[in-house]
Amino acid sequence: MKKAFLSLFLIFLGCLSTQVIIAQTASKTQKNPVDIDYKVSENDVAKTLKYLASDELEGRETGKEGMVKAADYLEQFFKDNNVKPYFKSYRDTLSTFKGTAFNIVGFVEGNDPVLKNEFIMLSAHYDHIGLDKKGVKGDFINNGANDDASGTTAVAEMAKYFSIAKNNKRSILFVFFAGEEKGLLGSKHLAKKLKAQDFKLYAQFNIEMIGVPMKRAYLAYITGFDKSNMAGKINEYTGKNTIGFLPKEAEYKLFYRSDNFSFYDVFKVPCQSVSTFDFENFDFYHHVSDDFKAMDIPHMTYFIQELLPAVTQMANTPTQEIVLLK
């Protein structure tokens, strides 16, 4: 059985083209990674995560009061940090949901007269699955700290950074999606809406479940590893082995199961999710124990800090270096 598994695994790896393997190999030859003086605060990370995963929000189910409270918080976060609304307001009402729900969308305009017309999208879904009818030991609230208050917190902190640094040549769209847990409804809606407006999307970097670390030689993995050279470019931009390949990601086809896919499907540009959930380090997926106390705040802070040079480079390269491979 072990030999058969090994053979299948080797065949799977063989399916990754030589071009992809070379492109995605960690590059430690980057001579001048961007030097980021800004320091992400553990207290700020904890503050946002703790509120989004609080019992008060009752699991942030799309269309419910808890989702609205989360949206209020994120909208105020954008206001407090001078992140402008991309539309007339921060609230982008879903056309794909029977009730009332909305994405929260802000942006920081690029400072290059030409490149500012291209966009990087940094995104995460702020909804979760709400209340558990049966409950576990008297707990009925699926707080969704890892899934995906952690990613939402990371995007919020990145938005804060760029609103202060203002060092992005390309414009950056910051999106908190609703309806992900109900079938990627928020991202499907927004992808079609932006496409109809001739939105120029260079790449999407979606953050999904980064609340606990992996015990691996790299910090995180991306979904659809072989679909673009994004992993290799991120490693080049950070000068570290930041992004690696996780076989389980390919096995479970995670590329198609988060909000990155909606934009890949419509725009046909590099759109991928980054995660540190590796199926071994967290036992509470869609469980009431996915709460704040289960999260590793120092790890989350480190993750955000480590990715800042990469997203800064994405926003500033003179040409579109991240490209599809197949």
Contact call for residues 172 and 200 (beta carbons, < 8 A): no
Residue 17 inside a domain? The answer is no
Contact call for residues 94 and 185 (beta carbons, < 8 A): yes
Angle formed at CA 307 by CA 304 and CA 309, multiple of 5 degrees? 125
Looking at residue 96, its amino acid is T
Looking at residue 181, its amino acid is E
Residue 326 inside a domain? The answer is no
Nearest CA to 324 out of 19, 26, 15 is that of 19
Angle formed at CA 126 by CA 130 and CA 79, multiple of 5 degrees? 130
Two tokens, residue 77: 């976060």
Two tokens, residue 194: 């932006």
Q: What percent of the chain has pLDDT over 90?
A: 87
Q: What are the pLDDT digits (tens) for 113-146? A: 999 999 999 999 999 999 998 889 899 999 999 9
Predicted pLDDT at 81: 98
Range 153-173 average pLDDT: 98
Q: Is 306 helix (H, G, I), strand (E, B) or coil?
A: helix
Predicted pLDDT at 25: 47
User: In the chain, how long is the greatest CA-to-CA distance?
Assistant: 59
Q: How many Å apart are CA 26 and CA 232, to the nearest integer?
A: 6
Two tokens, residue 240: 């570290």
Residue 15 inside a domain? The answer is no
Overall number of domains in the chain: 1
Q: Is 134 helix (H, G, I), strand (E, B) or coil?
A: strand
Two tokens, residue 233: 């470019």
Predicted pLDDT at 8: 43
Residue 49 inside a domain? The answer is yes
Predicted pLDDT at 24: 53
Residue 6 inside a domain? The answer is no
Of residues 31 and 311, more confidence is placed in: 311
Tokens 């096995």 label which residue?
Answer: 251
Q: What is the CATH number of the domain that holds 51?
A: 3.40.630.10
Residue 34 inside a domain? The answer is yes
According to DSSP, the β-strands at 201-207 and 271-275 are: parallel
Within 124-174, residue ranges assigned H as helices are: 150-165
Predicted pLDDT at 32: 73
Containing structural domain, residue 206: 22-314
Does residue 190 have a pLDDT over 90? yes
Does residue 172 have a pLDDT over 50? yes
Range 210-218 average pLDDT: 97
According to DSSP, the β-strands at 102-108 and 91-93 are: antiparallel
Does residue 4 have a pLDDT over 80? no
Residue 233 inside a domain? The answer is yes
Residue 321 inside a domain? The answer is no
